Structure 1
Amino acid sequence: MPATSLPSTLGVVLAGGLARRMGGGDKPMRSIGGRTILERVIARLSPQCDGLILNANGDPGRFASFGLRVVPDDVPGFPGPLAGILAALDWTAANRPEIAWVLSAAGDCPFLPRDLVGRLHEARARENAQLAVAASADQSHPVIGLWRVALRDELRHALVVEDLRKIDLWTARYPLATVTWPAKPLDPFFNANTVEDITEAERLAALDATS
């Protein structure tokens, strides 16, 4: 599937987590090599998507400098990334009805691949799948994936009525394409969860000459 024929796709950066392993605060606002993680995520996704939004809870003003629409969860209790994905699907349906697909990515992954959207769409189309997720190093990364906007009502039912929280339990209900990226010289889905991870990310940023 040539890049020019890819379906229009809205990107959502999921930054709604509570960052308990870093003592609270916003993980995407931590700096790596003089740039915040969120800056790096935006730089990777912007060329691949037909617009970006940010899913985050609390005061949206703290993200004002990034120029993205901040869309909070509308399912109470911080139920996890599925709530952020649902918020993005609902926002897209209401504000960008011409777009049928949303790409989600974690806000703490500074080295996302530049062919993320293209390869996920190619695999989804090839396998006639409803959803597509990324993988590396024998591990799936279900928070990084393609979501059909038309499934938002089913996702809301799963979250609100069934109290479903795990992404892989949700994706197991549908035909799913999984796309694997190489993890060398660096894993493009490395995520900065802890203070120690920030130190490792500094080392990896030096390897990632085009970041």
Structure 2
Amino acid sequence: MSSCAVILAGGQASRMGGGDKGRLMLGGRSLIDRVIERISPQVGAIVLSANGDLTRFDDLGLPVVADSIPDHAGPLAGILAGMDWASEHGHDWLITVAADTPFFPMDMVERLSGYDNPVVLAATPDPEFGMRRQPTFGRWHVEQRHDLRSALNMGVRKIRQWAEAQDEVLVVFDNADFFNINTPEDLAWAEQHLA
């Protein structure tokens, strides 16, 4: 059962002043380069999910897919685009990672692959809620794409809402594994963490 990964890079980065967050520099390298380096050994192929002028990612040497659902429908639309690409290229499973989260574990795919459920999401401990989903980090069976497309066309936008209906399983990781960079302060923290 082969798997590929989609790097979700379609966000609008409003809290960083716009642009591609994955292009932000951390320790002399872009976030997206760090994400590619981490996910490459874990999967058989990688595709990038983005919107707008897709040629701006030509330098990465990866296939790039745009949302098939209009009006910036969020990460679920990027997951669907990745599922469609994975299906077309003979992959049974899609792994999702975010372009703005450079510290996810090197054994993440292995740990997510221990279940046959159609949706397996990473989660982290949360003192208030017990567990917090990391919804852009997961393993998705590509056969679910038809259900996902229907849900998106009916207005579903929250990953949690759709995943819960798919008999999801949560796999617990450490909090620091999924630190995502949304603000200049986050980037400063990441620089310190890297050091």
If the TM-score is normalised by the length of the shorter chain, which range does it land in? Answer: over 0.9
Match of 1:70 among 58, 64, 72: 64
Match of 1:166 among 150, 154, 158: 158
1:52-91 residue CA offsets vs partner (Å, 9 max, x unmatched): 0000001112211111111010110001000000011111
1:97-136 residue CA offsets vs partner (Å, 9 max, x unmatched): 2x110001111001110011000011x23xxx22100012
Q: Equivalents in 2 of 1:26, 1:137: separation in Å?
A: 29
Q: Equivalents in 2 of 1:42, 1:136: separation in Å?
A: 22
What does residue 138 of structure 2 align with?
145
TM-score (norm 1): 0.88
What does residue 192 of structure 1 align with?
181
Structure 1 segments of 4+ aligned residues over 3 angstroms from their partners: none
Tell me, which stretches of 5 or more residues in structure 1 are unaligned?
Answer: 1-6, 207-211
Q: Name the aligned partner's letter for residue 37 of structure 1.
A: L
1:182 Cα deviation after fit: 2.0
Confirm whether residue 31 of structure 1 aligns to residue 25 of structure 2: yes
Answer whether contact 2:118 2:144 (CA < 8 A) is retained: no
TM-score (norm 2): 0.95
Match of 2:45 among 26, 45, 51: 51
Q: Equivalents in 2 of 1:8, 1:91: separation in Å?
A: 13
Q: Equivalents in 1 of 2:43, 2:150: separation in Å?
A: 27
Tell me, which stretches of 5 or more residues in structure 2 are unaligned?
Answer: 127-131
Matched residue SS, 2:96 = strand
RMSD of Structure 2 on Structure 1 (CA):
0.9
How many residues matched? 190
Q: Name the aligned partner's letter for residue 169 of structure 2.
A: A
Answer whether contact 2:16 2:182 (CA < 8 A) is retained: yes
